[in-house]
Amino acid sequence: MGKENIYSAFVIPSEVEESLIWMQKDFEILAIDRDSKARCGRLTTAHGAIDTPAFMPVGTQGSVKAVSPRELRELDAQIILGNTYHLFVRPGLDVIKHFGGLHNFMNWDGPILTDSGGYQIFSLAKLRKITEEGVEFQNHIDGARAFISPEIAIEIQAALGADIAMALDECVPYPCDYDYAAQSAQMTTRWAKRCKEWKQENAERPTSNAQPRNPHVNLSAIRNPQSAIERKLLFGIVQGATFDDLRKENAQAIVDIGFDGYAIGGVSVGEPEGEMLRAVESAEPFLPEDKPRYAMGLGTAPQMLEMISRGMDMFDCVLPTRLARNGTAFTATGTLNLKNAEFARDKRPVEEDCTCPACREFSRGYIRHLIKAEEILGLRLITLHNLHFYLNLMNRARSEIERGTFEQFRKAFGAEYKTRDTTAVE
């Protein structure tokens, strides 16, 4: 993109224009919307570049549910997410190391971001004990005890071969007592510092021998172990529950440590949408403009557009795959529960003008039949459609930002989008 296109989205005085475009080793800003904080960027990793805003399909167990890596590539997924805790418990690091890292193990040649296990501190609250040293789990598979410290969390992610590793944090529940939230945020900061220190101290250790097949991969980094190590990115996570002052304080503390990118965690854990947006708004001004920003674990299509307008760059969410398994499809006008009887004779695709495999080849009526008959193909087709919808939404957002029309697009999309009851009506 030429400079004249970069600036087409906004008008700025010449004396400050250079300060508004950043070019870093790993992340560059390509365009900024004139009416919001939305921006287009490019994040470079050892396994290829990621154009932002970007949605990351969730592959908790080393697999995006019901979808193969080949299908993900055909959907133009740029990066997927894996989970440190789940892969550590099963199949275990020895198995993944035996196959040369997570990329080789699952036959995915694009970037991978791995969660640190912090979310499991929240979701497996009855099976864990938190101390200053780390978290002791009674794992959910066989009840065996496992311990993850900040250092162990980063070591596991390095063994997996993650392109982007996340610092270990504590994700507190909603609602949360102020004093506990404050103590937790302070501990998250101390843990984040230990994560960075481990990475710095172990920077010269050999990395995974996975050989990417992506033609956009920086091959010089792969051939040069030290360069490849430097391409392994580490993101810090901002916590603070729903308290503005804690969010601001924790954001500044995490930024002072210095990371390759910054995530806002502890959102979409049951709080009202207004509180979720406020948590991001409180932290965002303290995050460096020249680093990628990741809003963790959300959300619906309108929520992601709201987050983009507030300066967020990266997202992950289980909704596209989870709701697909319940027969729910996403469209530009809202969700459709294809179990409903109204679709039994519907010859239309899930969404008109959609280019996903499900919409190109099958009708709503047929997909409903598959879901009602509990045929696996039905949930696979809806999953492919939903992932295509989320990924295409990010592509559209990038185009609108480049044109300087993102805010108009966001408002129009939100006005048309309706979240319908996902309970089947016979």
b (16+ CB within 10 A) / e for 26-38: bbbbbbbbbebbb
280 φ, ψ (degrees, to nearest 5): -70, -45
Identity of the amino acid at 37: K
Tokens 């030290």 found at? 226
Give 191-236 as a DSSP string.
Answer: HHHHHHHHHHHTTTS---------TTS-HHHHHSHHHHHHTSEEEE
CB atoms within 10 A of CB 124: 16
d(CA 365, CA 349): 9
- Distance of alpha carbon 316 from alpha carbon 360, whole angstroms: 26
Residue type, 375: E
Q: Is 316 a catalytic residue?
A: yes
**Which of the residues 163, 169, 260, 316 is marked catalytic?**
316
Amino acid at 26: D
C-alpha–C-alpha distance, residues 57 and 55, integer Å: 6
- As a whole number of angstroms, the distance between CA 377 and CA 324 comes to 11
**Which residue, among 404, 392, 396, 393, has the nearest Cα to 5 in the 3D structure?**
404
Q: Which of 26, 33, 115, 169 is catalytic?
A: 115
| CB atoms closer than 10 angstroms to residue 419 | 11
Q: Is 115 a catalytic residue?
A: yes
Rg (alpha carbons) of the chain, rounded to whole number: 21
Residue 228 neighbours by CB under 8 Å, 6+ apart: 46, 207, 221, 222
Whole-angstrom distance, CA of residue 335 vs CA of residue 342 = 14
Q: What is the rounded CA–CA span in Å between residue 88 and residue 96? A: 9
- Rounded CA separation 19/265 (Å): 29
Q: How far apart are CA 267 and CA 171, in angstroms?
A: 9
Strand 128-130 relative to strand 135-138: parallel, antiparallel, unpaired? antiparallel
Residues with a catalytic annotation lie at 115, 316
